[in-house]
């Protein structure tokens, strides 16, 4: 069929008109207006207490708050037109499920289905105690006025939460939803472990963490961020037990994000960080720094391309039954009720349950909720204080690249420990149950119960692929690359003449260094984790100068090159507690002879045997004011002629009464690290 020239002109004109009107677009060039397809509303309301009230979070505080460091807020985001998904995030330690249910009933008249509501908290420990939260914390020790203050603030907060949801509903307008994921690294595992058991709170650097920072943004038709929602797995306890009202690091993060994006409301939720604490902690200054790290990463993510989302396409909710150990009999609680402490108050609560119900429940109802944004993102909302192992495991069993996990949502049943935490024992596994009015610890099956409930909701659409790579944010990244970069510069220009001479000696000795790992064989050394040559926390064996003769020994395979009259061995370790008294130091023996005496230092050093046939060189590459870690080079001028005899090294304490220590890293990996050190010495 032929087309006339006139018809050709007509077709061209029609196509041109379509293009000019924006009715036809090439693939991938959709107009910005077509992306603005989700109705979103946001609002916030000040919920700073206006009357005296006690604060939650620390059992040692007994009075109403003394002052206000920062205001507290309730923030809301509404997604969708009909039966919208609603999240309310409150600056508080925790909101019990009964209060969520009360809010849900009020919101039903606003068209919000009960199943679509999420109530989360930032878990700041500097917010008012709410009725029903950690009920044993104030039981029996709050005055009538303090009880009244708790009730007044609880009612005040419920009113404020209803009002902020109503306001967000009114403010809904078409927006574009997007999300992305970044990382921040101030959260550190706080469970100190010694010989497999909990030993208190601190910074267990090699413990599991979740450094992911998922961020969701809603932009209006002009591209302005109107809502920014971020999530990070860390306790909100930087300020400590200071008896002042404060939003802690999450409050500062919200404040700084809103200062950066003037038209936005910021929502900060908390992931599975029940055993993760902010590092460092100690005051408002540290809290501001942590908040700033969140805000900077959010800004960086929003300046890059993000993944578009279609809105909340599915909301599901289930309740798991978490198994507790069999509750103790009535006699136990009768004996405990007069204890006059938290245990005594728990006993009274258990006796009340026995009198009312005839038994103490051995299960905990546990709500789990999920929001799906098409097949692009699945959000999971877990109740209570969930330890980080749940994030690690769910990110393995589901597609972590499309997964967002929030805890401290919809109820506060207490800590949710994992198998690991229950085995190690300690606060999160045991004593914390008292505060939450539970009769005892969970059974190990609790982990499988929670994980199975979550995967049942999500695995059909968000299951892990068979060849899925491991999520990269559950361990602290190694400091080794930065260390070698830093020492390369230092090795080229040592500051002192002494350091220059030692560096020259190392350059010479490293040529004959045998790249084999040391192997521990015996000794009285103790194991711990501490900073290695790069500052990473690693397992090491150490001895102190606390007693004379305390010894540790290890061997090197004997490898003597033909024609070589010398041999250098290299091992990684450290020296520490420089401030402790000097008591003579340590003695090193090589195959039982040629003693070398050395002591704690944080600077490069050389020690030799009396006949100068053995030389020990120490190159610290990480140091503090008291400790150091680095490379030890043991240069043997006349190797033993017995070709097949291993070289045995022993180090023992000469003095006593001092905590000075010598340590050997359990994992050496000498071959690769020597290679990098040789490159740095060029």
Q: Which string of DSSP letters, residue by residue, matches 617-645?
A: EEEEEEE-SS-EEEEEEEEESS--S-TTP
What integer pLDDT is reported at residue 528 of this predicted model?
A: 83
Residue 611 pLDDT? 87
Look at 3 and 497; give whichever has higher pLDDT: 497
- Taking only the tens place, the pLDDT of each residue in 177-233 is 999 999 999 999 999 988 889 999 998 888 999 999 999 999 999 999 999 999 999
- Bridge partners of 321, per DSSP, are 365
- pLDDT number for residue 682: 86
Is 135 in contact with 349 (CB distance < 8 Å)?
A: yes
The band of 510, judged by pLDDT with boundaries at 50, 70 and 90, is very high
Where are any strands of DSSP class E within 184-264? Answer: 187-189, 191-194, 197-201, 212-219, 225-232, 244-245
Q: What pLDDT, in 10s, does the model give residues 593-640?
A: 889 999 999 999 999 999 888 999 999 999 998 999 999 999 987 655
Please state, in angstroms and as integers, the Cα–Cα distance from residue 421 to each residue in 112, 445, 604, following that order: 38, 12, 41
Edge-to-edge strands, sheet with 403-406: 314-323, 363-373, 377-382, 403-406
Judge whether residue 35 has pLDDT over 70: no
SS3 326: coil
3-class DSSP assignment, residue 443: coil
Q: What are phi and psi of 182, to 5 degrees?
A: -120, -165
- pLDDT for 36 equals 67
Query: CATH: 2.60.120, 2.30.30, 3.90.1530, 3.60.21. Which one for 480-681?
Result: 2.60.120
Q: Residues 366-384: pLDDT tens digits?
A: 999 999 999 999 999 999 9
Position 640 scores a pLDDT of 52
Region 50-57 average pLDDT: 97
Locus of tokens 């309310």: 88
- Which residue, chain included where needed, has tokens 């849900």? 104
Residue 5 confidence class, pLDDT cut points 50, 70, 90: very low
Least confident of 83-87, 311-315, 407-411, 641-645: 641-645
Q: What is the DSSP annotation of 379-435?
A: EEEE-SEE-THHHHHHHHHBTGGGEEEE-SBS----EE--HHHHHH-STTTTTHHHH
- Are 128 and 95 within 8 A, CB to CB? no
Q: Of the given ranges (291-305, 354-368, 478-492, 540-554), which has the lowest mean pLDDT?
A: 478-492
What is each CA distance from 89 to 94, 153, 229, 259, in whole angstroms?
10, 17, 10, 19
Q: Is the bond leading into 90 cis (omega within 30 degrees of zero)?
A: no
Do the Cβ atoms of 578 and 602 come closer than 8 Å? yes
CA distances for 610 relative to 527, 532, 568, angstroms: 32, 30, 18
Print the SS3 string covering 638-670.
Answer: CCCCCCCCCEEEEEEECCCCCCCEEEEECCCCH
Taking the whole predicted model, whether its pTM rises above 0.95 is answered as: no
Is residue 530 within 8 Å of 537, Cβ to Cβ?
A: yes
What confidence category does residue 62 fall into, taking pLDDT thresholds of 50, 70 and 90?
very high
CA distance 536 to 258: 35
Would you say 312 and 85 are in contact if contact means Cβ atoms under 8 Å apart?
Answer: yes
Q: Could you please report the per-residue DSSP string of 667-681?
A: ---HHHHHHHHHHHH
Q: What is the pLDDT of residue 249?
A: 98
- Quick one: which H or E segment has residue 444? none
Q: Is the pLDDT of residue 19 over 70?
A: no
For the chain, the domains span: 480-681
Q: What is the pLDDT of residues 633-655, one digit of tens each?
A: 999 876 555 455 788 999 999 99
Task: State the chain's mean pLDDT as an integer.
Answer: 91
């Amino acid at each position: 069929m032929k087309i006339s020239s006139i018809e050709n002109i007509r077709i061209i004109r029609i196509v041109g008109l379509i293009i000019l009107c924006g009715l036809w677009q090439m693939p991938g060039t959709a107009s910005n207006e077509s992306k603005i397809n989700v109705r979103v509303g946001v609002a916030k309301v000040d919920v700073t207490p206006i009357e005296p009230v006690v604060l939650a979070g620390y059992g040692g505080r007994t009075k109403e708050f003394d002052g206000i460091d920062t205001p507290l807020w309730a923030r809301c985001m509404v997604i969708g037109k009909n039966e919208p998904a609603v999240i309310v995030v409150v600056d508080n330690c925790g909101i019990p499920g009964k209060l969520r249910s009360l809010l849900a009933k009020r919101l039903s008249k606003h068209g919000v289905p009960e199943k679509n509501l999420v109530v989360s908290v930032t878990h700041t420990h500097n917010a008012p105690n709410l009725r029903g939260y950690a009920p044993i914390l104030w039981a029996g020790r709050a005055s009538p006025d303090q009880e009244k203050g708790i009730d007044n603030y609880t009612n005040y907060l419920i009113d404020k939460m209803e009002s902020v949801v109503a306001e967000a509903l009114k403010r809904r307008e078409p927006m574009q939803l997007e999300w992305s994921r970044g990382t921040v690294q101030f959260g550190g595992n706080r469970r100190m472990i010694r010989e497999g058991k909990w030993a208190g709170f601190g910074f267990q650097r090699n413990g599991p963490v979740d450094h992911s920072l998922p961020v969701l943004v809603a932009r209006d038709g002009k591209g302005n961020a109107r809502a920014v929602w971020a999530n990070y797995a860390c306790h909100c306890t930087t300020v400590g037990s200071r008896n002042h009202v404060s939003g802690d690091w999450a409050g500062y993060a919200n404040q700084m994000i809103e200062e950066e994006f003037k038209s936005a409301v910021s929502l900060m939720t908390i992931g599975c960080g029940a055993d993760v604490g902010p590092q460092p902690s100690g005051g408002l200054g540290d809290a501001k720094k942590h908040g700033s790290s969140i805000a900077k990463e959010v800004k960086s993510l929003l300046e890059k391309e993000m993944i578009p989302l279609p809105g909340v396409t599915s909301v599901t909710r289930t309740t798991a039954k978490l198994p507790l150990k069999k509750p103790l009999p009535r006699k136990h609680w009768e004996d405990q009720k007069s204890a006059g402490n938290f245990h005594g108050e728990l006993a009274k609560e258990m006796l009340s349950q026995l009198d009312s119900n005839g038994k103490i429940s051995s299960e905990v109802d546990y709500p789990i909720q999920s929001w799906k944004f098409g097949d692009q993102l699945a959000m999971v909302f877990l109740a209570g204080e969930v330890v980080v192992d749940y994030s690690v495991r769910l990110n393995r069993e589901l597609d972590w690249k499309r997964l967002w996990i929030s805890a401290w949502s919809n109820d506060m049943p207490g800590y949710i420990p994992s198998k690991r935490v229950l085995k190690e024992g300690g606060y999160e596994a045991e004593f914390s149950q008292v505060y939450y009015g539970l009769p005892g610890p969970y059974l190990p099956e609790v982990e499988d119960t929670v994980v199975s409930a979550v995967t049942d909701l999500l695995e059909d659409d968000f299951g892990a692929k068979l060849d899925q790579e491991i999520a990269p944010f559950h361990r602290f990244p190694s400091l080794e690359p930065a260390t070698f970069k830093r020492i390369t510069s230092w090795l080229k220009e040592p500051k002192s003449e002494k350091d220059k001479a030692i560096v020259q000696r190392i350059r010479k000795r490293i040529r004959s260094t045998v790249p084999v790992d040391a192997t521990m064989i015996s000794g009285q050394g103790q194991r711990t984790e501490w900073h290695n040559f790069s500052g990473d926390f690693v397992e090491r064996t150490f001895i102190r100068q606390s007693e004379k003769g305390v010894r540790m020994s290890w061997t090197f395979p004997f490898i003597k090159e033909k024609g070589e009259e010398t041999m250098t061995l290299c091992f990684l370790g450290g020296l520490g507690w420089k401030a402790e008294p000097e008591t003579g130091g340590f003695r090193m023996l090589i195959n039982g002879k040629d003693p070398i005496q050395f002591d704690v230092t944080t600077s490069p050093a050389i020690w030799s045997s009396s006949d100068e046939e053995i030389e020990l060189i120490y190159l610290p590459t990480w140091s503090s004011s008291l400790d150091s870690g680095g490379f030890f080079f043991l240069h043997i001028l006349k190797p033993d002629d017995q070709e097949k005899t291993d070289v045995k090294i022993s180090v023992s304490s000469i003095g006593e009464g001092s905590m000075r220590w010598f340590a050997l890293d359990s994992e050496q990996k000498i071959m690769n690290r020597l290679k990098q050190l040789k490159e740095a010495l060029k």
